[in-house]
Amino acid sequence: MSKPKALVTAAYSGPELQRLGEHFDVSYHNWMERGRGYSKDELKEMAADKDVVIVEVCDLQKEVIDAAPKLKIVGCGRGLRGDDSTIDVKALTERGIPVLFAPGRNLNAVAEFTILMTLAAMKKVRAATKWLYDDQWQSWLDFYLRFRTGELCSKKIGLIGFGNIGKRVAKLFNAFGAEVMSFDPYIADRAVYESLNVKMTDLDTLLRSSDIVSLHMNVSENNRGFIDAAKLSLMKPTAILVNSARAVLVDHDALYRALKDGVIAGAAIDVFHSEPANTKTEPLLSLDNVFATPHLGGTTAEVIENHSKMINQGIFSLINAKAPEFILNPEVLEDFFKSRGKGGWF
């Protein structure tokens, strides 16, 4: 009996690809190897006879779904947060197809990167390295006279958002001896904060008292431009804003003015309103008090390992008639299991 067919365009770890291949006839077309995702027309052809499709950056829209009559399971190696429309979950749900995803695949990667960004901004890494590479170090003690940096120990850290990434970030900041506080309107249980040595607080208090304000929120229609001119004006003039979450959480022009006018001391940014960003199109990159990186927070090798394991776990849960841990449309499971029981899994 021939194996059911799986298409994988996501980057996938070797061990998990091998595990998948033990049960499926796998067509592996890693989007990273050619440097871009597959188009709608390419996916229509590639997925036409597949039972399982696993994507990462490729759009999986209704036209592609309709062109895959055998399709039974979809996996997406991303977290698919509130502002993500790359997968037509509605069309898949109407077909009764479970949609597996990988929330938290980059949890630790982003948390660690948040610490790096914070330290880089506090230690003035951008200005100091430019000074060094521009051959401005002329006398031995020039560096000591030129740069006055800061330490994390005893600093007040304000986390806006206390989900999984926020919690991990809190643990890391605590390791430096910082005082961590957080505001999250969706987590009202003070014990959740206290269990991680974090003070639960309101937004105004956090903004007024924090030395570092770090964003860890999902995007919704209600929080676009959440950090606006009014909120920036509440921050200390010595404070630093860190954004490793989503650019649209911050009012871009208000942040530019606040940095240029000295309303806050600096910002560390890994995400931009328009990507790719460069010095010709992004005014923030012209400011000396901005430490910026090109969306590097989730680029670790471990992220690929994580989403590969998470998607595979979901697939094999479904095969064994168990509810997957990470599924976007659990409402399809009852009928999915009934139909598989009648006609076999594939």
Q: What is the pLDDT of residues 10-62, one digit of tens each?
A: 999 999 999 999 999 999 999 999 999 999 999 999 999 999 999 999 989 99
> What mean pLDDT do residues 216-236 have?
95
> What mean pLDDT do residues 132-143 have?
95
| pLDDT tens profile 86-118 | 899 999 999 999 999 999 999 999 999 999 999
How far is it, in rounded angstroms, from Cα 28 to Cα 9? 6
pTM (predicted TM-score): 0.91
Active-site residue 275, yes or no? yes
The percent of residues in the chain predicted with pLDDT above 70, rounded, is 97
Identified catalytic residue from 168, 216, 246, 307: 246
- The residue type of 159 is L
Beta strand 266-269 pairing with 290-292: parallel
Beta strand 25-28 pairing with 52-55: unpaired
pLDDT interval class at 308 (50, 70, 90) = very high
What pLDDT, on the 0 to 100 scale, is given for residue 83?
Answer: 54
What pLDDT, on the 0 to 100 scale, is given for residue 294?
Answer: 97
For residue 342, is pLDDT > 60? no
Mean pLDDT for all residues in the chain: 95
For residue 75, is pLDDT > 60? yes
Identified catalytic residue from 275, 325, 331, 334: 275
pLDDT interval class at 340 (50, 70, 90) = confident
Residues with Cβ < 8 Å from 103, sequence gap 6 or more? Answer: 79, 80, 164, 326
Angle at 102 between CA 166 and CA 310, to 5 degrees: 115
What pLDDT, on the 0 to 100 scale, is given for residue 345?
Answer: 59
How far is it, in rounded angstroms, from Cα 307 to Cα 330? 19
Active-site residue 273, yes or no? no
How far is it, in rounded angstroms, from Cα 206 to Cα 78? 31
For residue 244, is pLDDT > 60? yes
Q: Are 30 and 9 in contact (CB under 8 A)?
A: yes
Identified catalytic residue from 23, 252, 273, 295: 295
Active-site residue 295, yes or no? yes
